[in-house]
Amino acid sequence: MDAHGPFCPGIDPHAALLDAWGLPDTVDGLERFALTCVEAFGGQVACVKPQSAFFERFGSRGVAVLERTLEGLRDAGTLTLFDAKRGDIGTTMGGYAQAYLSDDSPLRADAVTVSPYLGYGSLRPALDLAAATGRGVFVLALTSNPEGPSVQHAVLDGRTVAASVVAGAAADNAAARGAGGLGSVGLVVGATIGAAAHDLGLDLAGSAAPLLAPGLGAQGGTPEGLREAFGDALPQVLGNSSREVLGAGPDVAALRAAARRSAEDLAAVVGVRRG
C-alpha cells in the first residue's frame, strides 16, 4: 500500500464483462480475460482480488485458469487476496484452509476471505494456518448488501454480531502482531455502509485490522464516502473496485491506467499508514 496506493482491483470475469471485452463466455474467454488482468495489474498495484465464483462456474478447467492467474500474480510479485468467502467447521474448515493458505497448494494466495457466521471461533483452522505460513485472512464483518443487517446488526449479550467479529479479529491481532503496524486478520467492511460502523459502536481503528472496502465505483462507493464509513480507521483501508476498473479493458494500458487512477484517488483520501 505504501508503494502502490491503498487499492485492490478485482478479477471478476462474469458473463457481462466477457461480452463487453468482445470475448466468448467460455473457458478460452475466461483465460484471455484473467491473464490480461495479470499483465495489466502485476507489479502495479498493492493487491489483486480474484473472485472464485467466476472461475468455478466453468468447472475444473476454470479452476485451472484460476491457478494460472494466481501463479502469474505471484511471479509478478503482487499480493493476492482470494475472494472465496469460505466458512465451515472442524476438519472441513481445515480443508478450506489447506486449499488456500498452505505452502504447497496450487490455489494458495496471500490471503483469503472467510465467513464467520458459524461463529468466529469456527475460523480457527484458517486463522492458525495463515499465521503459520505468513498469510492472512479477511473476515466478513459489516457488508453493504441489504440482507446483511439482519444478521450483522443483531444483538446478543449486549453487543452486535458485527462487534463480536471485530473483537475477535482485534484479539487475534493483538496476540500476534507485537508493537505497531497492522495485524494479519483483516476485516471486510463495505464502502457504502455510511455511518453504520459508528452507529454500531465498532472499534475498527482499535482492531489493528487491514480493512478491505469493496463496493467502490459501479456499486456506488466513493473515496470521499470512505471518510464517513471508516473515520479514524481510514489509514487501515484497502479499497476494492472491480467493474469500474475492468470496464477499461481489454486494453492492457487502459486497465493499468484505470487502476493507477483509482489508487491515486484513494491515497488522497486515505493517506499512508506508517509504523
Q: State the catalytic residue, choosing from 61, 68, 74, 85.
A: 85
C-beta of residue 178 within 8 angstroms of C-beta of residue 153: no
Active site residue 49: no
Other beta carbons within 10 angstroms of residue 171's beta carbon come to 14
Other beta carbons within 10 angstroms of residue 154's beta carbon come to 10
Query: Phi/psi at 73 (nearest 5 deg)?
Result: -70, -40
Give the CA diameter of the chain: 53
**Beta pairing, strands 185-189 & 159-160:** unpaired
Other beta carbons within 10 angstroms of residue 173's beta carbon come to 21
Coil, strand, or helix at residue 215? coil
**Would you state the cell numbers that stand for residue 215, as one nine-digit string?**
463496493
How many angstroms separate the CA atoms of 119 and 90, rounded?
12
Distance of CA 177 to the CA centre of its chain: 20
Query: Phi/psi at 210 (nearest 5 deg)?
Result: -65, 140
Q: What is the torsion angle, in degrees rounded to the nearest 10, for the CA atoms of residue 138, residue 275, residue 166 and residue 133?
A: 40
Catalytic residues: 85
